[in-house]
Structure 1
């Protein structure tokens, strides 16, 4: 139906009644996406709930506390039944394995520390699922992410969530301008997660008190190594633990058991000062250790940049911005120096410890809540 310019704009930004606005809600089965679906249904929108089955359904049924598992599919379906809108489960197992799980395993084998949740948003939820939403003739797709979409002078902009403790911008930096024009994030303006749970109680949702998921959905109990060993048995090849000068100081049972910045579990005794993992060298099967000072980094190479600024990335030699190099750390002042449209060097004004290849580097405006995109850290110290 064409837009009616005489009709007031609804809460999703369309100049037509909610009842004539179809929105696909990506439902993980958790409280956040359930509240989004219930809220929009309550406002009178034509809501269609979609849940993705991302990995083995039999194993998923036995695992609680991760999104897109069997129990969560059941919870999403119950919410849809309670609120009276249709709900579909789509089998994305093969897509998820090819686009997310295999890269996760290969990245660990290459000595990187990947962030599969970003790749899942980028390659599955905001790509294939978004196309499915369009196939269903939806006007937009809504998710339960804590991030904001605001209209600027040149179109929609990505902004951090109001609640800094819930902000998920680190995991959504690769959202493109085209995707942003179609996506909606109804929870991004809420002051706290308590407000979300109060809304869940208001709508009488069965998931109102459901705990938040903590682990990566396909990694039981946070044990990355066990998952990688099933996918890549060769990852258990032993090797040497060496110091910064290359001297052998110990042995290990596979590089995948270590991450940059790790201190515990190195199995090296007789040292007076604490040591940390400062580098992983899969080709030599070396875990390189050193003092905490060796973890400090100021210069970070970035590639696969997704740029979300009105001005082109290459229009300046330097951009004075803030960056996040880990999801749990606040943005730090930095200088972004573009090399091409997709590559750059980031200089941190104060050194950061534990910067690891495979992690994201997300760009923030110093003067507002706007996100300028980001890229991937691609080699170590």
Structure 2
């Protein structure tokens, strides 16, 4: 296999060398994800969640519900994944309207969790068609079918929703969000639902040690497995970087980003843009925790310690984004770092990982 690019990233004590080759030599037939990606920049997005603020579909969107898209652009983001609670209807997508007004592409959460297949399909279709049939929502480009769809009944319903969407609006990407560490679940969900892409939750970085902000070494093996999993299926490989919780160092955020790129990640969908309990924070806490890209102080969005760090990193990624999209991950080499035999292989299903020949 011809290697046409080699990139080296030196991050803290880790050195990653990764080689990527022409994607046509990996996947012979163009996938729906590849078709969707054509003409688009490397995705650097963030999830936006606006919690319930009244009876379903009854109250107008309150002041402050929409994200500040000027800050969104400043952060180097080019996609908004609107994952607000939406069982009440399209009124539950305040982030989408802000993104559309700012001419930033957006996705929505399908939010059809009813176990009755007809009810679920009706809810799903109403959410999608409200935007897909109206040219004023020109930025609408994809649907996250579900977040961690573990229920077999929901999985079957999501497959029906996926099939309807692909047939009716083939230009819309279909995605599901799952944890990076659970390979068997991802495999099962793909076989049943057949999404075009996965958003892998790589947060928190520590997995089992809730007191640590370090990235545990076996997470790199999970990245390698996810990369091969998606290459074999022609599905999109997105990573949700974590910008929640305690403030994180620039080096930690960089290693999270460039390690994912070293394994062929094709986009980011970070969790999350801000805190989902902004109204409670606004009313009760004048100085809320440093959460997301922005937090809310006295009713106004203010940059957190993460925003400036992520803005610099995101601009770096955007500068090489075109090259990253043209290439495909082949193998990642680690210097002075083992990626297995850390005693957690069983817990994170690393023993199940298919080994390269």
TM-score norm. by structure 1 comes to 0.26
Relative CO higher for 1 or 2, CA cutoff 8 Å, sep ≥ 6?
Answer: 2
Higher helix content, 1 or 2: 2
Bigger radius of gyration among the two: 1
